[in-house]
Chain A
Amino acid sequence: MAANDRRTRPRIGSHAFLMLLLVAFLFPVAWALLSAFKPADDIVRSPLTFDFSAFTLDNYTAMFQDVPIGQGFVNTAVVLLFKGAATMFLAPLAAFAFAKYEWIGKNLVFGAVLITLMLPTIVLIIPLLLEMKELGWVNTYQALILPGAVDAFAIFWMRQVISAVPDELMDAARVDGCGEFAIFWRVVVPVIRPGLAGLGVLTVMNIYNDFVWPVVAASTERMATLQVVLSTLAQNITGNRIGADYAAVTGELLAASSVALVPLLVLFILLQRHFINGILAGSVKG
């Protein structure tokens, strides 16, 4: 959508303000990515200077030796694939029913969806964990994938997007003899593609960054996702806060954080237009 064209080119003050914010927003990530290449002692001794000639991969080699980060990536990838696919197909489908049909229990179920949105995530952790024990699913992929496989927020978001699709389009398809699922698949899905792209990026982000449930449900080394692997590293650093190891642990920590940051940053920079347009499509306006 075109922005406001009537205004004059912003003055220098606006640019100074935006530039200042830009530096503040990029600094922590840039600092971590660069510092991870510094010799560990330098990170601690001179956190603000960067001697590019002294850059080394030592922190990375040490980190890959100490931390099962490869297995973490594999586990995260498995969860992403199955949970992501379930959300991307089932959430729009259910949201379609919420947005475009009348059915018994609709308001009740939607009310329940809204309530779970207001519920702190950790509220459900105890009963869910007990449920997993009952099912024998603790430390399995099922435990990581199935709870929350169709996120309540995704339903809320997609309902908003699909409500904006004109009913006339659907009625026209019905007249042409389209079945109800075909209407969803061939009429609604193509129209809401920007919203779907936004949901896609958001879903990948949520699953990739999810931490609280995985750390409770599947924390063994074999099942730990990337974020869980990262969080145990944090316990190392707090344990060694004053000792001589602080520098080495900090180096490894920054290396591990960088490795975890980069895939999402690349994905986001490649897809940023879809992502931003997707949020624009789904949020409340006016």
Chain B
Amino acid sequence: MTAVVHPPAARRAPRAGRAPRMRRRLAPYVFVLPFVAVFVAFSVYPLFFTARLSFTDWRGTGAATWVGWDNYTYLLTNPAFWSSLGNSAVLWLLIVPVQIVLGILVAVLLNNAKLRLRGLYRVAFIVPFVTPLVAVAQIWVVLFDQRYGAVNAFLGLFGLPDTGWLTTSAWAKPTLALLFLWKTTGFIVIILLSGLQSINGSIYEAADLDGASRARQLWSITVPLLRRTIGFAVVLQTLAVFQMFAEPFVVTQGGPYNSTTTAGYYLYNHITRADLGTGAANSFLLVVLVMALSLLFVRLLRAKD
């Protein structure tokens, strides 16, 4: 970019009068105005409303009483709140590490231009991501049905007993995690691919000359260079897992025995009980947690520098 270009300011100066400069200063306000209007009306205003709500005992009708921090202390001392966080944490462990490892392996393989059927793989892996969740969640219910489902029928071929995938608390979480993994891993692969494509190939040639094995190169070169992309993917998925709501809503309704009552689903329980103040407080606790986790991951991945 060392081509001979006059500094833009110097070239503009003689021609640009006061009016264009004024317009340039005002333009961004005009550009963001429609967005800000919608944003304030349907995001910021409800957010402030929720904040105020979290300090009241309002149940949807009648007058609200100011209760201070009661809703927050109620939640923080309530085992059900902690167990909903625990459920989400277990789901996180079942999902995110698996997804990142699988994602890196697949992305590295797909990044090889000599791979046959590369286009087919790319399309096939992203198909789950474009399917409507409600439709897929119902297919999951049918597939994993204990008595009539295809999964148990298949395992039966090998003499394995029927498993209550969605009806026992031991299996409900892994089955739900599998749905989430199935649905979003393709998206993570594409994000990791974009990171891989910005790595300069010559660094691998040097490693080849040094006689480093492929596995060694993956661990010592690819993964460190992908750090920022991996961090982006981890933060994205952490947000998604802790907010997970529609999956348990359609597939398990939070059961059996609350084993799939995720942080997001627990929040919804307050809403169905019209316990709006507690629900609002729960939302904010969740936001703080998710923010803290995101910052932690960003930190951890940066610290390796």
Tell me, rounded to whole Å, the shortest Cβ–Cβ distance linking B6 to chain A.
9
Beta-carbon contact of B250 and A174 below 8 Å? no
Contact with B along A210-235 (1 / 0, CB 8 A): 01100000000000001100110110
Contact of A4 among B25, B42, B46, B111 (CB under 8 A): B111
Q: Does A8 contact B (CB under 8 A)?
A: yes
Residue tally, chain A, CB below 8 Å to B: 113
Chain A interface SS verdict (over half): helix
Closest A residue to B154 using CB positions: A48
Which chain B positions have C-beta within 8 A of A254? 139, 142
Of listed A91, A113, A286, residue having the most chain B CB within 10 A = A286
Q: Does A268 contact B (CB under 8 A)?
A: yes
Of listed B126, B150, B157, residue having the most chain A CB within 10 A = B150
Q: Determine, out of B75-83, B93-101, B284-292, the stretch whose residues face the partner at the interface.
A: B284-292
Beta-carbon contact of A112 and B127 below 8 Å? no
Which chain A positions have C-beta within 8 A of B227? 286
Q: Does A82 contact B (CB under 8 A)?
A: no
Q: Does B124 contact A (CB under 8 A)?
A: yes
Tell me, rounded to whole Å, the shortest Cβ–Cβ distance linking A281 to chain B.
8
Considering the chains assembled together, what is the distance between the CA atoms of A283 and B228 in angstroms? 10
A47-B34 contact in complex given A3-B197, A118-B287, C-beta closer than 8 Å: no
Residues of A near any B CB (own CB < 8 A): 1-10, 14-15, 17-18, 21-22, 24-26, 28-29, 31-32, 43-48, 90-91, 93-94, 96-98, 101-103, 106, 109, 112-113, 115-128, 130-131, 146-150, 152, 155, 167-168, 171-172, 174-175, 177, 179-181, 184, 205, 208-209, 211-212, 226-227, 230-231, 233-234, 237-238, 246-247, 250, 253-254, 256-257, 260-261, 264-265, 267-269, 272, 275-276, 279-280, 283-286
Q: Add 12 more A-B contacts to A4-B201, A233-B138 (CB < 8 A).
A: A7-B112, A25-B127, A32-B139, A101-B24, A117-B239, A119-B283, A122-B264, A124-B42, A174-B16, A184-B31, A246-B148, A269-B123
**23 A-B interface contacts by CB (under 8 A):** A4-B204, A9-B115, A17-B105, A21-B106, A28-B182, A46-B153, A93-B31, A94-B31, A97-B28, A101-B24, A112-B44, A118-B287, A118-B290, A119-B287, A122-B245, A124-B42, A149-B38, A175-B15, A211-B246, A261-B135, A280-B190, A286-B195, A286-B198
Residues of B near any A CB (own CB < 8 A): 5, 8, 11-12, 15-16, 20, 23-25, 27-29, 31-32, 34-36, 38-39, 41-47, 49-50, 53, 102, 105-106, 109, 111-117, 120-128, 130-143, 148-150, 153-154, 157, 182, 186-187, 190-191, 193-198, 201, 204-205, 208, 225-229, 231-232, 239, 242-243, 245-246, 249-250, 253, 263-264, 267-268, 271, 276, 279-280, 283, 286-287, 290-291, 294
A-B pairs, top 7 by smallest CB distance, nearest first, are A127-B46, A171-B8, A180-B27, A101-B28, A94-B35, A47-B150, A97-B28
